[in-house]
A and B are shown apart, each in its own frame.
Chain A
Amino acid sequence: MRWWFKARKGHTLLPLALAVFLGALYAVQDTTVLLPSIVGSPRVALSLFVPVPLLAFLMAALESRLPAAESSGVRSLARLDNSLITAVMAAAVLCGVLVAAVQGTAAATTGGRNALFLTGLMLIGRAWVGQAAVMVPVGWLVTIAVVGFRGNLPYAWTVIALPADHVFAAAASLIVFAIGLVSHTRSSRRSA
């Protein structure tokens, strides 16, 4: 297991990823930016984009492997990989809660929730397009920026643009993340 963790660069990439995530979440606070859009010019919270580097690091970790040995081996690594992903997401949610507590605003908690949702999307995409799936969450963000708002109000389907206390957004993030884990397990089995 130790070699698997080192192969995934769990001891180098992931602490760095979480440090970047935490730092960015703390730095952006409640900052909003004006984005070009088809419908109006919505002010979008900058924290929406904070999970992107975390996802890129996570994808790099998952792709750091010995494809031949792992696909012809006896041990299934899908469960270990899923545990790693879940641990990183738990840490991301914790980072959000921590920053929210320090700053006294609930907005930062969306960082963790959004990381869950976007990771789920990325894992679903990875089952189809492999490493390129890191672009799926980016595509989602671009779509939201372009057509996800009515005036300054986000549509419910955007999920990640919804406020921190939105129950639907929290539930959707958990469901998409769970589907992502299942997709990841199934694609690991298929490639094995």
Chain B
Amino acid sequence: MTLELTNCTYGYRRWKPPVLRDFSYTLPEGLTILLGPNGAGKSTLLKLGASVTRPQRGRVTLDGSPAGTAPYRRAVAWMPQDITPMPTLTAREYVAYIGWLKGMNRTDAWKQARKALVRVNLADQVDSRTNRLSGGQLRRVGVAGALVHGARILLLDEPTAGMDPYQRRVFRDILRGLTEDVRVLLSTHDVADLAEEADHVTVMHGGGVIHHGNTGTFLRHTPPGTLEGRAAEAAYTELLRSRGVAA
């Protein structure tokens, strides 16, 4: 399944310059890490991909099917930066509700919600109210919500923010466990943590893509003499510096 943005322009306010201007992007296969400084347009790209906002110009399609249609929305899962806790819902109800909203029937949503929570290591919290969960646990509930309906495209906005090292490892295991035909676009600031898992790296700045390629190409930006384990971070910094962004 190919998610494509073609010549998209999007701005939050009419009187302000658009965040994305004439932006085109095709999500490659596998896991793509989306990097970039704050305000680069990463979250906007994910929102357009999730079809929660429409571009003022341009098209967003999934295998030719326009964004916003039911088949499109069933195939795409989006996990936003902020996961809203819901005091009246347990973790399982929360995830099942997301599944139901994505078109699953009640029985399937209820069954799959438990499975999704087990996948994110929250089997012991299925009946906990979501407002009682820690920030990291709540993010894992968000990840479970993205997994519950078997989407073919996952758009994850900083999913590891606030997770401790153990939870991050669990999250990396989940990414590894996804079937090959699931494409993932993951926005993050944890460059070092996730770059080694990625098939591709996209770097955004100022509403445009300043680098896109496989992880090997990205890591070639690593300056010589970089400490072991710091290659991805150094490559990212060097890439931004070479484009005059770090200055």
Contacts and interface: CB of A to CB of B under 8 A. Distances in A.
B189 interface: no
Contact of A64 (B51, B74, B86): B86
Interface of B: 50-52, 68, 70, 73-74, 76, 78-80, 82, 84, 86, 88-89, 93-94, 96-98, 100-103, 106, 145
Given A72-B73, A73-B98, A73-B102, 14 more contacts: A3-B89, A3-B93, A4-B97, A7-B97, A68-B50, A68-B80, A68-B84, A69-B98, A72-B51, A73-B103, A74-B74, A74-B103, A75-B103, A191-B52
A72 B76 contact: yes
Contacts of B84: 65-68
Contacts of A77: 101
Given A72-B73, A72-B78, A74-B70, A3 B100 contact: yes
Contact of B102 (A12, A65, A74, A191): A74
Contact of A70 (B94, B101, B106): B101
Interface residues of A, number: 23
Interface in A66-121: 66-75, 77
A75 B96 CA distance: 14
Contact of A73 (B86, B96, B101, B106): B101
A69 B145 contact: yes
A166 interface: no
Contacts of B78: 68, 72
Nearest to B157: A68
Contacts of A191: 52
A64 B86 CA distance: 8
Given A7-B88, A66-B84, A72 B52 contact: yes
A68 B70 CA distance: 16
B73 A7 contact: no
Contacts of A71: 52
B73 A6 contact: no
Contacts of B145: 69
B73 A73 contact: yes
Q: Which 9 residue pairs are nearest across A and B when measured between Cβ atoms? A: A73-B101, A3-B97, A74-B103, A68-B80, A69-B98, A71-B52, A72-B50, A6-B88, A74-B70
Nearest to B83: A68
A69 to B, nearest CB: 4
B52 A192 contact: yes
B80 A12 contact: no
Contacts of B101: 66, 69-70, 73-75, 77
Contacts of B86: 7, 64, 66
A67 B73 CA distance: 15
Interface in A143-192: 191-192
Contacts of A126: none
Contact of B97 (A9, A12, A66, A67): A66
A108 B102 CA distance: 44
